[in-house]
Amino acid sequence: MVNIETKLQELYNVYEARRRKGDRVMAFIYSMPTDIYFGRDVILKNDEAFSKFGSRALVVTGKRSAKENGSYDDIKQVLANTGIDHILFDEVEENPSLETIEKGRQVGVQKRVDFIIGIGGGSAMDAAKAIAVFIKNPELNMDNIFEQGELDSIPVIAVATTSGTGSEVTQYSIVTSNKEKTKKNLGQKVFPKLAFLDSKYTHDLPYDITVNTAIDAFTHLVEGYLNTNSSYMSDIYGEKGFELFKYCFKKLLDKDLDQEFRERVMLASTLAGIQISQTGTSLPHGMGYPLTYYKGLPHGLANGVLTMEYLKSFKDKAKIDRMLALLGLDKLCDLESILTRLIDVKLDINEDEIYEYSRAFVSNKAKLKNHTEKVGLEDIIAIYKRSLL
């Protein structure tokens, strides 16, 4: 058992080595414009926070869960208390399509809404952000959205009901383009003005969605931590997140999803969101999108299934060792045994499909740039093959 002080010293040495090489890890721009409200009944206790955004809101949700977990009831209550009208758009599907976003825009424009409240998992929150951009920019459509410069949006308030994406504190909106047959970032920066996090909404989240979404949060921590854009500042969030995951992994494996677990995993997910808002994600996220688009794999599992081979591919393991220490683990194979127990993915996939996904992925320079080591087509193919065949 390697002691944690030794590993801390090792990390310090890594920073020192990067600094001596002229690496600007100590230089960063940190921007987190979202006000975060975290805790029990946090929506009901803060109704004044809603007043400044206008008199009519579009509430954007998935088809069912927001009506069942109490989040929509709490929002209705504060909107009534503050005299704000609202219109419900509850048609967001998982991995929201641009077609649905266009539909949401039409409702918002027709009802002349001032702001949007997105309630749900990442799908509803991301759709809310995209609809907010579309409402503000009438010339936008499904065909020209990805070629735009920076655009404004009407204000967005986010209420998270899963603990995974961190979308409530990120600027990203991941949408499905059926024309391009993939998922991609809208390419606009839409930080929610307010993020509400109350773990009571997640109490009845089924075990499988709890695992999938927690794995998503974990992969954000990993990819944000082992990222070209990571800095001393972003690492603070990553490292606190790993400490929380030491506890969360045990609870997930024990299937002991009590209130304390729900709260801690929600916090870990938000910390991970703050971290990737600064760094972006890396290889598993970019490589996971076709597994969701073509094979229907839930987002968290699509990243999670690639994570071990991605980690094994690193030549420089110093920061990975530090991550393992914070997770209370000795070796990468300890993490592998946890992920193998949590992730059970059997995909019907062949080599031709892997080549196709890999070729498309290496053309995505943004994600390759975030990886700290040089990788090419053969490396990407190898990660897919070792993970999936």
- Interface residue list for ligand NAP (CB under 6 A): 62-66, 69, 94-95, 120-124, 126, 161-162, 164-167, 170, 172-174, 183, 201-202, 204-205, 209, 213, 216, 299-300
123 binds, among ligand NAP, Zn ion, none (CB under 5 to 8 A by kind): ligand NAP
Residue 65 binding result from Zn ion, ligand NAP, none, given CB thresholds of 5 to 8 Å by partner type: ligand NAP
d(CA 246, CA 196): 25
Q: Which part of the chain contacts Zn ion (CB under 5 A), choosing from 55-63, 197-205, 214-222, 261-269? A: 214-222
CA–CA distance, 162 with 192 (Å, rounded to integer): 16
Which of 277, 358 has the CB closer to ligand NAP? 277
Name which of 208 and 351 has its Cβ closer to ligand NAP.
208
User: CB of residue 216 vs ligand NAP: minimum separation in angstroms?
Assistant: 6
Least spacing, CB of residue 49 vs ligand NAP, in Å: 21
The answer to whether 168 contacts Zn ion (rule: CB under 5 A) is: no
User: Which neighbouring-strand residues pair with 87?
Assistant: 58
Other CB atoms within 10 Å distance of the CB of residue 333: 11
Closer residue to Zn ion (CB): 89 or 172: 172
Residue 387 interacts with, from ligand NAP, Zn ion, none (CB under 5-8 Å by kind): none
In the β-sheet with 35-38, what is the strand arrangement from edge to edge? Answer: 35-38, 194-197, 156-160, 115-120, 56-62, 85-92
- Considering CB distances under 5 to 8 angstroms, the limit depending on partner class, which of Zn ion, ligand NAP, none binds residue 351? none
Nearest distance from residue 290's CB to ligand NAP, in Å? 12
Nearest alpha carbon to residue 89 among 115, 109, 108, 76 = 108
User: How many residues of this chain interact with Zn ion, rule: CB under 5 A?
Assistant: 1
Query: Which amino acid is it at 29?
Result: I
Locate 132 and state its tokens: 């907010």
Dihedral pair phi/psi, residue 306, rounded to 5°: -95, -10
Q: Which is nearer to ligand NAP, 122 or 304 (CB)?
A: 122
Q: Which residue has the tokens 């509400």?
A: 196
Q: How far is the CB of 223 from ligand NAP (least distance, A)?
A: 11
Q: Which of 90, 168, 198, 216 binds Zn ion (CB under 5 A)?
A: 216
CA dihedral 60, 125, 44, 208 (to 10 degrees): 110
Binding segment toward Zn ion, per CB under 5 A, in 49-57, 179-187, 208-216, 249-257: 208-216
Give the nearest distance from C-beta 169 to ligand NAP in angstroms.
8
Q: How many residues does the chain have?
A: 389
Q: Name, in order, each residue with C-beta under 8 angstroms of 259's C-beta and a sequence gap of 6 or more.
A: 199, 203
Q: Tell the smallest beta-carbon distance from residue 333 to ligand NAP (Å).
A: 27
**C-beta of 216: minimal distance to Zn ion in Å?**
4
Phi, psi (rounded to 5 degrees) for 35: -80, 125
CB of 163 to ligand NAP, least distance (A): 8
Three-class SS state of 187: coil
Nearer to ligand NAP by Cβ, of 167 and 329: the residue is: 167
Residue 97: name the closest of 182, 162, 17 by CA: 182
- Residue type for position 278: Q
Sites of contact with Zn ion (CB under 5 A):
216
